[in-house]
Amino acid sequence: MRTGAAAGHNGWLHQAAVYGTDDEFLRIVVPHLEAAIATGEPVFAALPEPQVELVRAAMNGATPNVTFWPALTTTRPPTTIKMLRSLGDPVTGDTEQVRVVGAVPHPGLGAPWDGWCRYEAAINDLLDDVAIWSLCIYDRRITPEAVLADVERTHPHLLAVDGSHQRNDRYQDPTTFLRTMAPPPLDPLETGPPAVELVDPLPSTGRQAVRDIAKQTRLHDNDIDDLVTATSEAITNAIKHGRPPVTLRLWAMPERIVVTVNDQGDGPQDPHAGLVPRHDAANGPGGFGLWLIHQLTSAATYTHDTDGFTIHLTGGQALPLHHDAQPGSPLDPRR
């Protein structure tokens, strides 16, 4: 049985709340948790540790139904989607709901925004059959204007600081939003000449190129191994699904490596590409390359231009980049 604002709602309820002080944060989150505790609903809260301490103190440690997760900055969008799906049962007549409260990563929390922005839009489609009430919270003090504008366009429901629930008339159809997103910002390393440029490399050649350039960095072995695998998958995809020539470029500095793989094709047409596994029945076994890439890299973005399709991969510490603001949002902190 669904409760609260989700009463009578079928499937995924996706809600956003924006606050500007610690007191406003507690006025949003604590009543939400208390209502779930009163009805016995399980709650999962993915919050930075300082916010967890605020909540525990405000509730005198009485959080029997609440499971506190590490902040989502420790995970990646495809992994989070898989985790959420595992929590919620497919909707049936007697489905009970699960509540999830999370601070979604963005540049104010030290994370690049493009992948998490795609996540916020896509889960409206990808999780629409599970009985989860998801409350995404954003701190106006540290959230960029462009992110707040995207938050409003990707959440069909809003929760105000006074506790009122509102349908969001600025919400945009997920597919439309994903197809019209602003281009992702490029890592500044890409403005300079690459350290390595290879035309029509084999996947094995690309793997070795990443290992060679990684010797100039301080990346951990696991990060290097993950980027090697992601680069191999990207080259394989370009050879199999794109059009030649395929060009591999690499840039490196001590804390990160940036890899781009370009081909002359149109790139994936699925707006959810990389967020969930897609089996490609027309091409036989496989179809999971982009999904794997997004779990292995600190950031993975796509660009389409006159040079074709390019996938941009970051290994190591990705910069907390975001695209330009969409003007006119009432969540804009200047209003």
What domains, with CATH codes, occur in the chain?
4-179 (3.40.50), 188-316 (3.30.565.10)
Q: How does the average pLDDT of the chain come out, rounded?
A: 91
Calculate mean pLDDT across residues 146-150.
97
Kindly give, in sequence order, each residue whose CB lies less than 8 Å from that of residue 268, ignoring residues fewer than 6 positions away: 241, 274, 290, 302
Q: What is the pTM (predicted TM-score) of this model?
A: 0.92
Residue 262 bridge partners (DSSP): 247, 310
**Per-residue pLDDT at 331 exceeds 50:** no
pLDDT in tens, 270-317: 999 999 997 654 444 445 899 999 999 999 999 999 999 999 999 999
Calculate mean pLDDT across residues 16-33.
98
Residue 17 to residues 29, 43, 302, Cα–Cα distance (Å): 9, 17, 29
pLDDT in tens, 182-225: 999 999 999 999 999 999 999 999 999 999 999 999 999 999 99
Calculate mean pLDDT across residues 140-144.
98
Q: What is the pLDDT of residue 95?
A: 57
DSSP H or E segment with residue 242: none
Q: What is the pLDDT of residue 335?
A: 27
3-state DSSP percent of the chain in helix, strand and coil, to 5? 35, 20, 40
Q: What is the pLDDT of residue 94?
A: 52
**Per-residue pLDDT at 127 exceeds 70:** yes
**Per-residue pLDDT at 60 exceeds 80:** yes
Cβ-contact 269, 321 below 8 angstroms = no
**Per-residue pLDDT at 226 exceeds 50:** yes
Share of the chain above pLDDT 90, in %: 84
Across 14-18, 54-58, 157-161, 325-329, least confident range: 325-329
Share of the chain above pLDDT 70, in %: 92
**Confidence label for 2 from pLDDT (cuts 50, 70 and 90):** confident
Across 18-22, 174-178, 328-332, least confident range: 328-332
Q: Which two tokens stand for residue 95?
A: 């489905």
Cα 144 to chain centroid, rounded? 16
Radius of gyration of the CA atoms of the chain, in A:
21
Backbone angles phi, psi at 5, to 5 degrees: -65, -15
pLDDT in tens, 227-239: 999 999 999 999 9
Q: What is the pLDDT of residue 8?
A: 86
**Per-residue pLDDT at 329 exceeds 50:** no
Residue 305 bridge partners (DSSP): 308
**Per-residue pLDDT at 10 exceeds 70:** yes
Q: What is the pLDDT of residue 287?
A: 59
pLDDT in tens, 82-115: 999 998 765 444 558 899 999 999 999 999 999 9
Alpha-helix residue ranges (DSSP H) falling in 127-164: 145-154
